[in-house]
């Protein structure tokens, strides 16, 4: 029984084929048409007789970052047409008065109002469908009416009318995508979903057709929450796939850490363009209900990944003041670092690592590294200085994912993966006083392995905003978002017995106090329908290492500095301990 996972990154596309406990991996450069890279990676890994094919993609993320989405219209309750532009009326940067917010995805001329009004208890003004505007040249439409998270009848009617009038337009209603209170965040999420929908749908339809021609099963697509859904569901709501690839990496890291006996871990995924970090507590990746992507709030369940623009392909440069900088600009897959010999002449972190002796002369796939080209590219920039700067950036990211979340990293293991993760992991662990570093055998393609090991998951949310005492019976499993009456934001508490007392304890742990005499308010209940992943059995080569030592892995390289040593476990995961 074979399981295939393919993860498309900005630089490389990774494939993992798990067949009876034997893991085969492949890594190919990402092509402009991502579906071609997926098929190439599947062929390279020898995919045949595949029962389940799982996929992670950066299509939605890149389209948002590069503003390559569909022409989108925004339809709101009359009088609230400019909601996306009004935002929260806070500053983009607290101490820079001239710093600008990112431009909304929908320009003012495509923001429309419809005559209707819902209040907390129901209809205040009947819906007038004749007031619906002509959407003009819009390719997508986001509909977000007042109080539709509680009373969706008007919004549902507007969406149905738009779909009937303009079947060529991709219509998303907020109660379908993000049925939650907080008007601006709900509107922003719906606009992102509509804006990305045609792009992701076009890609997934092309991929599904290509898979049919090549004899592969229809893919299951990774969502930002770390679960899988079928192609149709993924295409219907593109915003759910914004963190598709990074979420898969965290799933893979949690699997490797748990099997090594470390339920508490921090994942460190360093790729060619960026680095993703996430805390794993009790074997489960940390999740959040909202995050910003390129300055736009997206209120959807996501694995709580923190991303920085620093990776192996990040450019090393001197700024106008002579200070050394690394990233966020990257050499990408083409031309790549100077040492790849593909025409790149600008220095990168990979070039610096090669000159420091932390990379072999030939990478996986037979790529010969040109040391002289790296030396010419770096010029007067010291290789050690370049690596020190990028590690300072990575250290800040790890602190955001741990210390700033109230977690003490000293009690966690650091799971290093991605092409460059194992190169820097021990140095970063030293800085955080962490004693254990885990390097999976499939470190170079762990996100693809995470896809293979992921569960099918459909997240649900029910907005309530009522006193906890009046909420009635709650589900046995899931999370409750609770707050003291009068507070602006909530804490997520697992559902179950003694819910109120567990909230008080969590509040005291997070903020230093609890007020047990104050009324509690239940903002929302989050649940998920989960289908377990197939059982994963791993095997790997056995070895012992003692730093300083260079360890070549399949698709990655591990640098073990002096003071670190370890051996692999039965899975092939290298367990490094600090002396």
Q: What is the pLDDT of residues 95-124, one digit of tens each?
A: 888 888 899 999 999 999 999 999 999 999
Predicted confidence at residue 536, as pLDDT, reads 79
β-strand pairing of 291-293 with 122-125: unpaired
Provide the greatest CA pair distance for the chain.
75
Q: What is the mean pLDDT of residues 215-228?
A: 93
The Cα–Cα gap between 466 and 468 comes to 6
Kindly state the average pLDDT of the residues 355-366: 83
User: Reduced to 3 states, what is the DSSP secondary structure of residue 578?
Assistant: strand
How far is 217 from 320, CA to CA, in rounded Å?
52
pLDDT reported for residue 519? 96
* Token pair of 65 as six digits: 């970052």
Query: What per-residue confidence (pLDDT) applies to 547?
Result: 85
Backbone phi, then psi, for 417, in 5-degree steps? -155, -170
Q: How many residues does the chain have?
A: 579
Instruction: Report the first-to-last Cα separation within the chain, whole angstroms.
Output: 42
Residue 389 has pLDDT above 80, yes or no: yes
- Give the pLDDT score at 551: 92
- Is residue 12 very low, low, confident or very high in pLDDT (cuts 50, 70, 90)? confident
Whether the pLDDT of residue 22 is over 90: the answer is no
Do the beta carbons of residue 456 and residue 530 sit within 8 Å? Answer: yes
> What is the helix (H) or strand (E) element at residue 65, kind and residue range?
helix 59-65
Mean pLDDT of 220-239: 93
Residue 41, phi then psi, degrees to nearest 5: -65, -40
Which of these ranges, 190-194, 345-349, 359-363, has the smallest mean pLDDT? 359-363
Average per-residue pLDDT in the chain? 92
State how far the Cα of 395 lies from the Cα of 123, in Å rounded to an integer.
52
Quick: pLDDT tens for 408-441.
999 999 999 988 999 999 999 999 999 999 999 8
Task: Please state, in angstroms and rounded to a whole number, the distance separating the CA atoms of residues 84 and 105.
Answer: 8
Q: Specify the pLDDT at position 365.
A: 61
**Does residue 344 surpass a pLDDT of 90?**
no
The rounded Cα 229 to chain-centroid distance in angstroms is: 16
d(CA 548, CA 167): 63
> Is 541 a residue whose pLDDT tops 70?
yes
Reduce the secondary structure of 251-296 to three states and give it as a string: HHHHHHHHHCCCCCEEEEEECCCCEEEEEEECCEECEECCEEECCE
pLDDT at 2 exceeding the cut of 80: yes
Position 364 confidence tier, pLDDT thresholds 50, 70, 90:
low
Residue 231 CA: distances (Å) to CA of 18, 53, 172, 198, 292: 22, 11, 17, 13, 25
Q: According to the model, what pLDDT value does residue 362 have?
A: 83
What pLDDT is stored for residue 190 in this prediction?
98
- What is the phi/psi pair of residue 109, to 5°? -70, -10
CB 27 within 8 A of CB 365: yes
- Kindly tell me if the per-residue pLDDT of 333 is higher than 80: no
What's the pLDDT score for residue 367? 78
The stretches of 318-477 forming alpha helices (DSSP H) are 349-355, 371-378, 383-401, 421-432, 446-452
Encoded tokens for 226? 């770390």
CA gap 51, 119 in Å, rounded: 49
Residue 325 has pLDDT above 80, yes or no: yes
pTM of the model: 0.87
pLDDT at 372: 93
Report, in this order, helix, strand and coil percent for the chain, each rounded to 5: 30, 30, 40
- Cα 43 to its chain centre, rounded Å, is 26
Q: Name the residue with tokens 């367990």.
A: 575
Q: Which among 462, 315, 319, 311 has a CA at the least distance from the CA of 393?
A: 311
Does the structure show a pLDDT above 90 at 398? yes
Count Cβ atoms within 10 A of the Cβ of residue 406 and give its class: 0-12 exposed, 13-18 middle, 19 or more buried.
Answer: exposed
Query: Closest by alpha carbon to 243, among 201, 206, 219, 276?
Result: 276
Average pLDDT over residues 13-19: 90
Per-residue tokens: 380: 């007067």
**Cβ distance 503 to 491 under 8 Å?**
yes
User: Averaged over 298-305, what is the pLDDT?
Assistant: 92
Q: What is the mean pLDDT of residues 331-359?
A: 89
276-280, 371-375, 465-469, 530-534: least confidently modelled range: 530-534
**Mean pLDDT lowest for which of 296-310, 353-367, 376-390, 447-461?**
353-367
Give the pLDDT band (50/70/90) at residue 28.
Answer: confident
Q: What is the pLDDT of residues 247-285, one digit of tens each?
A: 999 999 999 999 999 999 999 999 887 899 999 999 999
Provide the percentage of residues in the chain whose pLDDT is more than 70: 99
The DSSP-derived string for 146-163 is TTTTT--HHHHHHHHHHH
Tokens 């819906």 belong to which residue? 127
Range in 330-339, 353-362, 552-561 with the lowest mean pLDDT: 330-339
Per-residue model confidence as pLDDT tens digits over 60-103: 988 898 899 999 999 999 999 999 999 988 888 888 888 888 99
């Amino acid at each position: 029984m074979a399981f295939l996972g393919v993860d498309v990154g900005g630089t490389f596309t990774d494939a993992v084929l798990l067949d009876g406990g034997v893991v085969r991996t492949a890594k190919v450069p990402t092509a402009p048409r991502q579906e071609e890279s997926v098929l190439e990676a599947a062929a390279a890994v020898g995919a045949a007789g595949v029962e389940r094919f799982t996929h992670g993609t950066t299509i939605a993320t890149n389209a948002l970052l590069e503003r390559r989405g569909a022409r989108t219209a925004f339809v709101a309750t009359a009088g609230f047409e400019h909601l996306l532009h009004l935002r929260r009326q806070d500053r983009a940067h607290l101490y820079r008065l001239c710093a600008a917010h990112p431009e909304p995805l929908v320009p003012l001329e495509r923001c429309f109002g419809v005559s209707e009004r819902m209040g907390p208890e129901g209809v205040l003004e009947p819906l007038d469908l004749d007031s619906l505007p002509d959407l003009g040249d819009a390719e997508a439409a986001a509909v977000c009416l007042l109080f539709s998270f509680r009373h969706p009848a008007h919004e549902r009617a507007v969406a149905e009318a738009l779909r009937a009038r303009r079947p060529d337009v991709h219509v998303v209603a907020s109660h379908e995508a993000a049925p939650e209170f907080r008007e601006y965040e709900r509107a922003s999420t719906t606009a992102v979903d509509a804006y990305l929908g045609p792009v992701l749908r076009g890609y997934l339809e092309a991929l599904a057709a290509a898979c049919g021609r090549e004899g592969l099963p229809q893919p299951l697509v990774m969502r930002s929450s770390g679960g899988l859904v079928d192609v149709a569901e993924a295409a219907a709501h593109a915003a759910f796939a914004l963190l598709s690839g990074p979420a898969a990496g965290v799933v893979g890291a949690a699997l490797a850490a748990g099997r090594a006996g470390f339920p508490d871990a921090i994942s460190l995924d360093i790729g060619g363009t960026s680095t993703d970090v996430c805390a794993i507590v009790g074997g489960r990746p940390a999740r959040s209900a909202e995050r910003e992507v390129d300055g736009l709030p997206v209120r959807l369940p996501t694995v709580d990944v923190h991303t920085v623009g620093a990776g192996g392909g990040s450019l090393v440069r001197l700024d106008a003041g002579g200070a050394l900088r690394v990233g966020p600009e990257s050499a990408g897959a083409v031309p790549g670092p100077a040492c790849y010999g593909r025409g790149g002449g600008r220095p990168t972190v990979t070039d610096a690592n090669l000159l420091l002796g932390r990379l072999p002369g030939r990478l996986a796939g037979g790529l010969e590294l040109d040391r002289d080209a790296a030396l010419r590219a770096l010029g007067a920039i010291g290789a050690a200085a370049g690596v020190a700067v990028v590690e300072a950036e990575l250290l800040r990211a790890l602190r955001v994912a741990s210390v700033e979340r109230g977690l003490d990293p000293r009690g966690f293991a650091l799971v290093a993966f991605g092409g460059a993760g194992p190169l820097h992991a021990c140095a970063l662990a030293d800085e955080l006083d962490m004693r254990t570093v885990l390097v999976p055998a499939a470190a170079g393609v762990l996100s693809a392995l995470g896809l293979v090991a992921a569960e099918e998951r459909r997240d649900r949310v029910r907005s309530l905003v009522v006193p906890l005492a009046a909420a009635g019976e709650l589900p046995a499993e899931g999370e409750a978002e609770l707050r003291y009456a009068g507070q602006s934001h909530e804490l997520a508490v697992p559902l179950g017995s003694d819910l109120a007392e567990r909230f008080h304890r969590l509040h005291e742990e997070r903020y230093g106090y609890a007020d047990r005499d104050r009324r509690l308010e239940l903002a929302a209940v989050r649940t998920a329908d989960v289908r377990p992943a197939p059982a994963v059995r791993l095997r790997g080569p056995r070895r012992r290492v003692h730093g300083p030592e260079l360890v070549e892995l399949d698709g990655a390289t591990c640098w073990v500095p002096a003071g670190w040593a370890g051996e692999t476990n039965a899975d092939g995961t290298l367990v490094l301990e600090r002396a």
